[in-house]
Amino acid sequence: MDEDELFNPDYVEVDRVIDMKTSTDAAAGEETTLYLVKWRSLQYDECTWELAQDIDTEKIEAFLRVKDLPPENERKVRNVWCSFSVLLHVIEQFCTVLVLEEEEESALGRGLLCGSSSPFLGSQRG
């Protein structure tokens, strides 16, 4: 098998940044920031610490937006029941559409069996 066949480009694509830490480089004495990267198509136990310059800035910015959530006591509380009732309404509407489509398909089948070209025109046996 050729080495190129074994290479999967998904293994080098950043899926998301999941953590960050700062450490001091012993040789240079400089503080560096490292980001824990979850790679696409790899499991979480295969995450690696990477320098910012090796990661797409959009992935780092997305992580920072989530990381800097306000403290729990300062977060806005949403009305969960309101959201739940909206979800129930959407599900109810979807189920109604499914039932209507099923009834139309059934009527279409009956209309064709009776010789009608349209179930809405009624039976047109001749």
CATH 2.40.50.40 at 3-71, yes or no: yes
Domain assignments of the chain as residue spans, ordered by start: 3-71, 79-126
Distance from C-alpha of 39 to C-alpha of 18, rounded to nearest angstrom: 10
Distance from C-alpha of 4 to C-alpha of 114, rounded to nearest angstrom: 62
Of 48, 40, 45, the residue nearest 19 (C-alpha) = 48
Band (pLDDT 50/70/90 cuts) for residue 111 is low
Segment 31-42 shows an average pLDDT of 92
pLDDT for 126: 43
Residue with more model confidence, 57 or 114: 57
- Average model confidence (pLDDT) for the chain? 75
pLDDT for 106: 66
Tell me, yes or no, if the pTM score tops 0.85: no
* pLDDT tens per residue, range 61-71: 999 988 877 77
Percent of the chain that is helix, strand, coil (3-state, to 5) = 50, 20, 30
pLDDT for 3: 57
Q: Where are the beta strands (DSSP E) in 40-113?
A: 48-51
Distance from C-alpha of 10 to C-alpha of 112, rounded to nearest angstrom: 51
